[in-house]
Amino acid sequence: MTEVLSTPLDRATGAGELAPLARRVLEHSVDPLSDEDVQLTLYVMYGLFYRGFEGVDDDWEWSPEVLGARRLIEFAIEQHLSQRVAVPQDVAPERAAVAEALFALTAPSPGPSVARYVAKRASLEQLRELLVQRSVYQLKEADPHTWAIPRLVGRPKAALVEIQADEYGGGDPERMHCELFARTMRGAALDAEYGAYIEQIPAVTLAGVNVMSWFGLHRRWRGATAGHLAAFEMTSSLPNRLYGDGFRRHGFGAGTTEYFDEHVEADAVHEQIAGRDLAGALVQQEPELLHDVLFGAATCLYLDEVVGERLLTAWEAGVSSLRTA
C-alpha cells in the first residue's frame, strides 16, 4: 500500500501516547464519521490486520497500545451511530420474520440516488471519481465480512461461505470481484494498485469501510456483520445495473463494465442467501443477536446514505467529491 496521510498515529512520539492522543482527538471531534484524523487513523489500525504497510513492523497488529487506542475510537463511533441509526422494532426472532424485515428495510426508494445520477447524468470525470471512492473497499471486496466465518456454525456459516466463494471468484483469481473491479479501474485509466488513492478518500467514505472492519474483527459483532452483508447484497443488484449503464453511456465496453454486470446477477442470488440463510438463520439460532443483525443492516444503509448525499451534493455543485487538500 502507498504511504498514507499524517494521522494522530504518526504524530505520537511513543506507543504509550496513542490512547491519550486518541482520547484528546475524540474529545474535540464533533462528528467522528467525518473527522479525517479519526477515520484515517482507524483505517490504518485496521490495515494492520489486512495487508499491512510497507516499512511497518507486523508486530503492531497486536500491540496493546494500538488496540487500546482503537477501542476508544470504536466506542465513540458506536455511541455516535447508536444515536442516529434507526433499527426496526417488533421483529420476531425467527428466520422468515428477520428476512422479511431486511427486505422491507432495503426496499428501493424513489428519491435521488448516486446510481440514478451515474446512469443518466454523470460526466466521465465523475465516473472516475466514483471508482476512486469505491476502490478503498472494492479492491479488497469481501474481506471484512470473511472475518465472521469462523465465528458462525451450521446454516449461517454455510451461507456466508457460499456468498464469499462467489466473491472470491469460485477459486479463479481472474474472476475474483476485487480483480474485476481493478480491471474496471484500469479500463477507466486509473491506478488499480491497492491503496493508491487513500489520500483522496474523504472521511465519510473511510467510515463506511471502517465499520465493516469493526464489525468483522469482533466476535461480539458477528450478528452485525451478518446484517450488514445482507443489506449490502440486497441493495447491490439494481444500482450495479445503473452503474453499468452509466459507463456504457460513455462508450466503455464489456471489459470495463463486467464488474457491474457480474453483480447484477450474482447479488440477486446473494440477497436471498444473505437475508434468509445467513441473517435469518443466525437469529433463529441465536435470538439474542436480533438487534445486532438489524443494527448492522441499518448502519450499512445509513452510511451509504451519508456517503451518497456527499457525492451528489458535490457533483450537483460542479465540484470534486474527493479530498483535495
pLDDT digits (tens, 9 = 90+) for 136-164: 999 999 999 999 999 999 999 999 999 99
2 in a structural domain: no
Residue 170 has what DSSP assignment?
G
Is 70 exceeded by the pLDDT of residue 167? Answer: yes
- Domain with residue 106: its CATH number is 1.20.910.10
According to the model, what pLDDT value does residue 266 have?
85
According to the model, what pLDDT value does residue 267 have?
83
According to the model, what pLDDT value does residue 109 have?
85
87 in a structural domain: no
251 in a structural domain: yes
Domain check: are 142 and 260 in the same one?
Answer: yes
- Domain C-terminal end among 23, 58, 82: 82
Residue 104 has what DSSP assignment?
H
Residue carrying C-alpha cell 467510515: 207
Domain check: are 67 and 207 in the same one?
Answer: no
Structural domain span for residue 161? 95-316
Domain check: are 110 and 169 in the same one?
Answer: yes
The alpha carbon dihedral of 19, 21, 24, 29 has a sign of negative
Containing H/E element for 178?
A: helix 177-187
Domain check: are 263 and 172 in the same one?
Answer: yes
> How does the average pLDDT of the chain come out, rounded?
94
Res. 112 pLDDT band, cuts 50 70 90: confident
Domain check: are 120 and 248 in the same one?
Answer: yes
Report the amino acid identity of residue 40: L
According to the model, what pLDDT value does residue 265 have?
86
Res. 5 pLDDT band, cuts 50 70 90: very low
Q: How many helices (H) and strands (E) does the chain have?
A: 16, 0
According to the model, what pLDDT value does residue 110 have?
84
Which residues have C-beta within 8 Å of that of residue 32, sequence separation ≥ 6? 26, 38, 39, 73, 76, 77, 80, 207
**From the centroid of its chain, how far is CA 302?**
12
Read out DSSP for 236-250? THHHHHHHHHHHHHT
Domain check: are 105 and 174 in the same one?
Answer: yes
> Can you tell me the distance from the alpha carbon of 100 to that of 93, in angstroms, rounded to the nearest whole number?
11
Q: What digits encode the pLDDT tens for the residues 115-138?
A: 999 999 999 999 999 999 999 999
Cell of 224: 452485525
232 in a structural domain: yes
Which residues have C-beta within 8 Å of that of residue 172, sequence separation ≥ 6? none
The residue-averaged pLDDT of 71-96 equals 97
Contact present, 200 and 131 (Cβ < 8 Å):
no
According to the model, what pLDDT value does residue 17 have?
85
43 in a structural domain: yes
Contact present, 203 and 167 (Cβ < 8 Å):
no
119 in a structural domain: yes
Q: What digits encode the pLDDT tens for the residues 242-288?
A: 999 999 999 999 999 999 999 998 888 999 999 999 999 999 999 99
Q: Is 57 left (phi over 0), alpha (psi -120 to 50) or beta?
A: beta
According to the model, what pLDDT value does residue 13 have?
45
Cell of 70: 482503537
Domain check: are 102 and 176 in the same one?
Answer: yes
Domain check: are 126 and 242 in the same one?
Answer: yes
88 in a structural domain: no
In the chain, the N- to C-terminal Cα span, in Å, equals 20
- Domain C-terminal end among 82, 105, 136: 82
Domain check: are 126 and 268 in the same one?
Answer: yes
Domain check: are 71 and 146 in the same one?
Answer: no
The residue-averaged pLDDT of 1-19 equals 57
Is 90 exceeded by the pLDDT of residue 4? Answer: no
Domain count along the chain: 2
| Least-confidence region, from 7-21, 79-93, 265-279 | 7-21
- Domain C-terminal end among 49, 82, 115: 82
Domain check: are 128 and 153 in the same one?
Answer: yes
Domain check: are 300 and 187 in the same one?
Answer: yes
321 in a structural domain: no
The residue-averaged pLDDT of 187-212 equals 97
The residue-averaged pLDDT of 293-320 equals 97
Q: What digits encode the pLDDT tens for the residues 35-69?
A: 999 999 999 999 999 999 999 999 999 999 999 99
